[in-house]
Amino acid sequence: MPDLREKGPGGLNLLTATELCRKLEGKQTTSVAIVQDCLARIAAREPDIRSWAYLDPETALRQARACDAEPRRSRLHGIPIGIKDIFDTYDMPTAYGSTIYKDHQPTADTAVVGMMRRAGMVILGKCRTTEFASPVPVGVRNPHDFTRSPGVSSSGSAAAVADYMIPLALGSQTGGSTILPAAFCGVVGYKASLTGLDRGGVRHLRPNLDTMGLFARSVADIAALRSVLCGVDPAPPVAEMRGIRIGICRTMNWKEARPESVDALESAARSLAAAGAKVHDVEMPAVFTDINQSFNVISGAEALRAMAAEARDHFPTLNQWIRDSLTAAKRVDRAQFDKAQFHVVQCQRAMAEVFAGCDAIITPSTAGEAVADVVSVSNSAFNRIWTLLHVPCVTIPAFTGPNGMPVGLQVVGPVGGDDRIIALSQGIADALK
Amino acid sequence: MPDLREKGPGGLNLLTATELCRKLEGKQTTSVAIVQDCLARIAAREPDIRSWAYLDPETALRQARACDAEPRRSRLHGIPIGIKDIFDTYDMPTAYGSTIYKDHQPTADTAVVGMMRRAGMVILGKCRTTEFASPVPVGVRNPHDFTRSPGVSSSGSAAAVADYMIPLALGSQTGGSTILPAAFCGVVGYKASLTGLDRGGVRHLRPNLDTMGLFARSVADIAALRSVLCGVDPAPPVAEMRGIRIGICRTMNWKEARPESVDALESAARSLAAAGAKVHDVEMPAVFTDINQSFNVISGAEALRAMAAEARDHFPTLNQWIRDSLTAAKRVDRAQFDKAQFHVVQCQRAMAEVFAGCDAIITPSTAGEAVADVVSVSNSAFNRIWTLLHVPCVTIPAFTGPNGMPVGLQVVGPVGGDDRIIALSQGIADALK
């Protein structure tokens, strides 16, 4: 895997948010200098990477100058972040990846974006998303290999962080849209518990699945950003693996895992055991059979409601995947929807029991390294289950595949245990180094 | 204070959600029987109380029958709840208290409403809200005295729970809209941390202030409902007050407190000290001066953005208070808004330091008992600060005013400490009995 740091101009943009904070706190740099280095990198690399939906350098620099002129508001004061273009910004257009909303200018920020502004962060620009966060690629490039998928749907957020254009990005996950692109692009991705990061003001697509996600180049950066968004101190990183109970979960989709993901999981299990963790296998409870079908029923029915206006007024402009999903969902009746919902409740209960016996689950982030296919719908088999269960997930880019592409390890925790699973992931990332 | 239980028909509707759960779990009753008793109470009392914006008995009973026919999905399976008509429901109209949205039928549930359905709860109907949750009363009656205010803006939710029409209700607070009506109507009210209960799918009015609120007739019911909405077990109630550090906070608005609120706070302090708590005075840090002005700047500017479409297309139909707020907000420039935001960040930090020295703050829920004025804007001086600070608040109906009306005690905790402050409020409520 070539070192992306050597491509294009490199300066402050090569550092993590945590490293930049230290420099800002020590008055060794300014927000303007950081933003300038990010903009230089973007100017050099964006023609290839294509990860931005909207970026106005002057808007970004104006924010940075304002940050430098005032006292620090939070740990992340002055740090730039990219926002997936599925989230509203009052000062930048928001198109949700759709031609229907081309040049659409929302009147208000999605709540988390407002929280970032209040914390003194610089909203650098909008990162490209697929159309309404559907799994159909839109031409964002994987910085490690342009012939391979960057993952969907938070493709722009993942690629921009991986390519050192920005230290942090906001994304979302309704199927696999955070963990998948983070793993394919080789960065840290965190999908919150369904309600683990505020969803106020989100333009919903599937309210029971639409989850916030964060991208960074270190787990510590994820902890810092989550802390700013929740207003609480982060849990201290777990430094000692001894006694930590780790469940290895191959899931019912194990047959879809390619050798690099199989090797990553086994290697991680060995390393964690060597570091003192109590590692044991965890079987997916029997009730999980057919969970993919329940996912499809819920996802389709919720999309039909959330996209009712677009489906009514703009159906022909929607991509084929969205049209097919909406058409299929029309055949789902209320009884099927209720049955699927109840099935999920049973699975959530069964998973809570699994977590009574372990502190975290480790499982593949993806079927394997980024596929050499930049047009097809990608495989979110190792992500959809966790989205549906509402549990927090972190992908750590600790491994490499046969083609030199990044391979992630996914750490999963119980619903609501976000702080703990991030703290634990810091320890796991260290143990895998 | 007359016992409302003696008015109108009484049956299962007189019990708390916790008591009803026990009966349902023991198969001593059914969801249909509970809903029928609630509907009988509503039929008898609604002509006087006027707390419902939409209620279709058959829709409610159909849900109850479905609950009775399937295995229990959660602790609150089969329990009815009323939803403030500011929140979307896919099967009932949602008007946000506005003639603009008369008969408006959303296509999807606000996320928390969907969570309640998935937990097997019965969405009984929509409780009346003021117009866009503004502080202008709309004729909902305080069940204890029709000549007195029920509080705004979640008036219908508070009155319906107080009058034993429903055990639980969902509301919201942007100024004082949960704690104020709960205190005036003599029920338990809980305003979450800003992001303490999921805000997905909420029709925002002021994204930095719009907070979820819950109403019940016991703190244990609040804990149970929050647990269902967050997917985590509730913190165990704090049974022992010994060693608990309680700060008495009179706030900078103390001169507005009437004798009954002064007495309530002092009496609570004595009772808690007698129960072993470490009670001490807490001064509002100096930085809080002018916080009311910052509240107004933020509230106005955010409303201007969130209500841009209504202000543009329907300005003359909005009530005078909303028109005046929007007009005043137009005079706020970006620099004033930024200054107000920064002021709030400083206050939030100062408050975090206060909470380093105490486990909870006690403070008045309102200036006094419900005022004998059913048309004027009510005084949210003891609520706006906490909303702006994003901290969780619980009002406990432990006292009585000179006219026999309920008087609450407000318990406030640090941002994100919702579970803990609810658990502590259970102990405080017991100590005040």
pLDDT digits (tens, 9 = 90+) for B10-49: 999 999 999 999 999 999 999 999 999 999 999 999 999 9
First and final C-alpha spacing in chain A: 16
Give the other-Cβ count within 10 Å of A281's Cβ.
9
How many beta-carbon contacts under 8 Å exist across A and B? 119
Contacts of B73 in chain A (CB under 8 A): 342, 345
Question: Span A415-425, mean pLDDT?
Answer: 96
Average pLDDT, chain B: 96
Contacts of B305 in chain A (CB under 8 A): 90, 107-108
Q: Which of B112, B209, B345, B388 would you mutate first to test chain A, the one with the most A CBs within 10 A?
A: B345
- Tokens read off for B417: 């400490």
Do B207 and A201 count as a contact with CB atoms less than 8 A apart?
A: yes
Contacts of A193 in chain B (CB under 8 A): 231
Is the ipTM here above 0.85? yes
User: Over pLDDT 70: what percentage of chain A?
Assistant: 100
Which of A118, A208, A210 lies at the smallest CB-CB distance from B345?
Answer: A118
Q: Is B153 a catalytic residue?
A: yes
Do A114 and B195 count as a contact with CB atoms less than 8 A apart?
A: no
Antiparallel, parallel or unpaired: β A168-173 and A80-84 = parallel
Residue of A nearest to B194 (CA): A198
Do A198 and B195 count as a contact with CB atoms less than 8 A apart?
A: yes
Vertex B428 angle, CA B425 and B433, to 5°: 125
Question: Span A272-301, mean pLDDT?
Answer: 96
Per-residue pLDDT tens for B166-183? Answer: 999 999 999 999 999 999
Q: Which domains does chain B have, with CATH numbers?
A: 1-433 (3.90.1300.10)
Output DSSP code: residue A186: T
Which of A90, A210, A305 lies at the smallest CB-CB distance from B305?
Answer: A90
Helix%, strand%, coil% for chain B, nearest 5: 45, 15, 40
Average pLDDT, chain A: 96
Q: A279 CA to chain B: closest CA distance, Å?
A: 25
Do A231 and B66 count as a contact with CB atoms less than 8 A apart?
A: no
Catalytic option among B31, B51, B84, B155? B84
Distance, in Å, from the CA atom of B418 to the CA atom of B413, rounded to the nearest integer, reads 7
Confidence of residue A1 (pLDDT cuts 50, 70, 90): low
Whether pLDDT at B2 is above 80: no
Per-residue pLDDT tens for A340-382? Answer: 999 999 999 999 999 999 999 999 999 999 999 999 998 999 9
Q: Widest CA span of chain B, in angstroms? A: 62
Letter string b/e over residues A10-33, b meaning 16 or more CB atoms within 10 A of that residue's CB? bebbebbbbbbbebbeeeebbbbb
- What does R_g of chain B's alpha carbons equal in angstroms? 20
Q: What per-residue confidence (pLDDT) applies to A211?
A: 97
Give the other-Cβ count within 10 Å of A334's Cβ.
9
Q: What per-residue confidence (pLDDT) applies to A279?
A: 98
**Cβ contact A297:A112 at 8 Å:** no
Q: A12 CA to chain B: closest CA distance, Å?
A: 27
As a dihedral over the C-alpha atoms of residue A290, residue A295, residue A296, residue A297, rounded to 10 degrees, the angle is 90
Which of A204, A229, A338 lies at the smallest CB-CB distance from B108?
Answer: A204
Do A108 and B305 count as a contact with CB atoms less than 8 A apart?
A: yes
Do A195 and B200 count as a contact with CB atoms less than 8 A apart?
A: yes
Q: What's the order of all strands across the beta sheet hosting A406-412? A: A52-54, A122-127, A80-84, A168-173, A211-216, A188-191, A393-400, A406-412, A360-364, A245-249, A278-282
Contacts of B306 in chain A (CB under 8 A): 107-108
Catalytic option among B74, B98, B134, B153? B153
Contacts of B210 in chain A (CB under 8 A): 200
Give the active site residues of A.
84, 153, 177
- Tokens read off for B137: 């009363």
**Cβ contact A389:A187 at 8 Å:** no
**Cβ contact A288:A343 at 8 Å:** no
Per-residue pLDDT tens for B372-421? Answer: 999 999 899 999 999 999 999 999 999 999 999 999 999 999 999 999 99
**Cβ contact A315:A382 at 8 Å:** no
Do A74 and B345 count as a contact with CB atoms less than 8 A apart?
A: yes
Contacts of A231 in chain B (CB under 8 A): 193-195, 348, 390, 415-416
Which of A231, A345, A390 lies at the smallest CB-CB distance from B73?
Answer: A345
Residue of A nearest to B302 (CA): A108
Q: What per-residue confidence (pLDDT) applies to B1?
A: 66
Residue of A nearest to B347 (CA): A73
Question: Span A99-108, mean pLDDT?
Answer: 93
Whether pLDDT at B109 is above 80: yes
Whether pLDDT at A2 is above 80: no
Distance, in Å, from the CA atom of A229 to the CA atom of A193, rounded to the nearest integer, reads 14
Question: Span A260-267, mean pLDDT?
Answer: 98
Do B73 and A109 count as a contact with CB atoms less than 8 A apart?
A: no
Whether pLDDT at B314 is above 90: yes
Q: What per-residue confidence (pLDDT) applies to B152?
A: 97
Question: Span B270-282, mean pLDDT?
Answer: 98
Picking from A231, A292, A281, A267, the residue whose alpha carbon sits closest to that of residue A73 is A231
Contacts of A200 in chain B (CB under 8 A): 195, 199-200, 202, 204, 207, 210
**Cβ contact B149:B142 at 8 Å:** yes
**HSE-CB of B72 using CA atoms within 13 angstroms:** 16
Do A201 and B204 count as a contact with CB atoms less than 8 A apart?
A: yes
Distance, in Å, from the CA atom of B87 to the CA atom of A9, rounded to the nearest integer, reads 49
Which of A117, A231, A306 lies at the smallest CB-CB distance from B390?
Answer: A231
Residue of A nearest to B231 (CA): A415
Catalytic option among B51, B149, B177, B227? B177
Instruction: Tell me which residue has tokens 């913190």.
Output: B235
Contacts of A108 in chain B (CB under 8 A): 204, 207, 302, 305-306
